[in-house]
Structure 1
Amino acid sequence: MKNLRRLALPGRTVRLRFTALYGALFLLSGVGLLTVANLVTLGSSTVSVPAGNPSLQRPTLAAAQELIGLLQVRLSEMQTLQSRQLLISSVVALAVMAVVSVVLGRIVAGRVLRPLRTITAATRRISADNLHERLAVPGPADEVKDLADTVDGLLERLEGSFAAQRRFVADASHELRTPLATMRASLDVAVAKPEPVPAQTIALADRLRTELDRVDRLLDGFLMLARTQHGALSDRATISLGRVVSAALEARAADITDKGLTVHDGDVQDSAWTQGSRTLLSRMVDNVIDNAVTHNHDGGWIRVATTADGTTARVIVETGGQVLDQEQLARLAQPFQRLGADRTGSDHGSGLGLSIVSAVATAHGGNLDLHARPEGGLRVAVSLPLAGGPA
């Protein structure tokens, strides 16, 4: 059986196609070379006998021998000239055909390798946010087709793995809400009993309730992160970033007052509009404002601005404070990453705030930029595609 497979005709492989194409091109080049050389040779192969030679009028043996000698000399000269012309014409024809063969070979190779360039460009374009796309390269069943199908299979497995991970996070976060609610209700019932409750029990219940609230916020962050990464943008609308920022500042007005923070919001414009999920964009801005309030010194300041520049709408939030390390700021966009205990308020929160901001911005075609201010503090800039406001 194996011998029969070896004796079978090879398939239409790329190697075979290259061999056939380049062999045909060089064969045609050789034929052209020989044709040109023969045409040049035939054009210059006529031997002329000198006219008016007096020896031709003397039909004697000496005259015949003299004529034969002259013809031999003339034939030798013509052979030498013909060989020189043939050599020159062959060199010229070879140079011309070499150039033509290189040009034709480059064109043909480009056409043959075009699917590989398509695969490379498509693979670079596909990322974790568009794993549903496939290469779907058409053509014969050769090495290029096998490579494209292999990459498509890899993308399919990656898409399934990412989807399973996101579903697990969302399902686990949702299922954990029920026992948390049960635990919180049990604490409330235990504290609300008619008989006197010991002070230690009340203190323990308050501490447990605080931790339950923290876990609840963590689960809420998980759900938001999973929903953002899953691309669930069902409530798309044209939204004013300036109004969303103003609403977020009003919601945190009590916390701002408690910490004695000064808010500079004179640069909040109503011209910065974008399209996307109202829920996710509101959560994104809330997280940015919450980060600026939580990780700030008492009596500090916050500068908030919304701008529209060309095709980009931006939300910019700056805070004062200590000088931060720019190299470490990139970690803040990852889940559960913080700058350490020396940062103000770093013992609060779940570590998902800015990672949710980055995920929401990416889901809407934007990005998050974290920049350490030279004089101290942090500058958070969220860039989103600009959209025209409602008529």
Structure 2
Amino acid sequence: MLGAAGLGAAVALAQVAVVHLVIDNTADEALAERVEGYTVWSSIAAGLVMVLLAAGLAAWVGRRALEPVGRMARTATEWSQHDLDRRFALGPPTDEIRALGATLDTLLDRVSQVILGEQRLTAELAHELRSPLTTIRATADLVAMRPDLDDQLREDVDDILAACHEMAATMTGLLHLARTGRAHSDEQTDVSSAVAAASNGPGHDRITLSEGADLVLAAPAALAARAIGPVLDNATRLADHVVVRAVARAGWIEIEITDDGPGVPSGIREVLFEPGRSGGSGSGLGLSLARRVARSFGGDVTLAPAVPGAGATFLVRLPAA
């Protein structure tokens, strides 16, 4: 651009020199002044045109040079655990940008290997746990068939069978999730059923579903409960009242879980969803698994910003049917 401006200035100076030469050899001063004025304005116009052309050329060259960066940005935005094979693929590293793309492709290879290893581990654990669970369920079935059980013992056995059935459904879903990277989405359940399945532990009587009970989720009840349950468990363990509110927004259902407990300490807010991190006596695996299940549907589990004097508020986002 500066080169074009300098060239325009040189042309203008040359034209002015010619004009002065004409003036020196012209008797008509009025004509000479008009020629000088025309020359100056034409020089300015030529300079502006050259500057605009130089700016357009610079913009075109800049766009062509940065096109790989834009493609990398779009690929990075769309990359997820469901697209582990996607790469930037800018070609041979013939320049700095393509070399950066090749380096990032190598990094993505390593990240995908870690994710695949985690999925394999989850699949192996779910598979190994199914055998003892089947044994427990078979034994409970045999006990339930005995005619000498009193009412209390029969109720306890029924509770064991119900828990076995729920665990089997959850493990089947987790096994499918680990193998494919995606949860089942052809089954549906309403928010009320999902919350009921997720709040069958101690303190369930302190949970109130205030809004959106009839909203339908594009998820099976067992996996929806896995995304909601750990949040409800933490809330009922630390608070006296828990309010659940579901709202439909643009193809999603946002389930807001608010409690009147002490809230989440500021020191662990940033790492709360990391496996093994816990603000209490728990193992720290519940929230991380809840987030993973929700993200398998494309949703998420997040912690809302802290409000002074209030408890904690979690948002569980799941697809709407």
TM-score (norm. length: structure 1): 0.55
Query: Which residue matches 1:360?
Result: 293
Query: Which residue matches 1:98?
Result: 51
Alpha-carbon spacing, 1:106–1:313, altered in 2? closer, same or farther (3 Å): same
Match of 1:108 among 58, 61, 65: 61
Equivalent residue letter for 2:301:
L
Query: Which residue matches 2:87?
Result: 134
Distance 2:253 2:26 in 1: 93
Equivalent residue letter for 1:233:
A
Query: Which residue matches 1:69?
Result: none
Query: Contact 1:317–1:381 (CA<8 Å) still a contact in 2?
Result: yes
Distance 2:263 2:26 in 1: 103
Distance 1:157 1:227 in 2: 21
Distance 2:113 2:78 in 1: 19
Query: Which residue matches 1:338?
Result: 278
1:273 aligned to 2:216? yes
Equivalent residue letter for 1:121:
R
1:369 aligned to 2:309? no
Query: Contact 1:291–1:353 (CA<8 Å) still a contact in 2?
Result: no
Matches within 5 A, 1:218-233: 224=174, 227=177, 231-233=181-183
Runs of 5+ in structure 1 lacking a partner? 1-21, 51-73, 185-216, 341-345
1:290 aligned to 2:233? yes
Alpha-carbon spacing, 1:385–1:41, altered in 2? closer, same or farther (3 Å): farther
1:262 aligned to 2:196? no
Matches within 5 A, 1:1-391: 93-128=46-81, 130-137=83-90, 143-171=96-124, 174-175=127-128, 224=174, 227=177, 231-234=181-184, 236-249=186-199, 251-252=200-201, 255-256=202-203, 261-270=205-214, 272-293=215-236, 295-296=237-238, 300-340=240-280, 346=281, 349-371=282-304, 374-387=308-321
Equivalent residue letter for 1:314:
E
Alpha-carbon spacing, 1:276–1:229, altered in 2? closer, same or farther (3 Å): farther
Equivalent residues, number: 284
Distance 2:193 2:130 in 1: 32
How far is the alpha carbon of 1:333 from its aligned partner? 1.8
Alpha-carbon spacing, 1:37–1:336, altered in 2? closer, same or farther (3 Å): same
Distance 2:263 2:103 in 1: 49
Runs of 5+ in structure 2 lacking a partner? 137-166
SS in 1 for 2:58: helix
Equivalent residue letter for 2:227:
M
Query: Contact 2:209–2:244 (CA<8 Å) still a contact in 1?
Result: yes
- What fraction of aligned residue pairs are identical, expressed as a percent? 25
Query: Contact 1:235–1:277 (CA<8 Å) still a contact in 2?
Result: yes
Distance 1:155 1:319 in 2: 39
Distance 2:45 2:100 in 1: 43
Query: Contact 2:253–2:319 (CA<8 Å) still a contact in 1?
Result: yes
The structure with the largest alpha-carbon Rg is 1
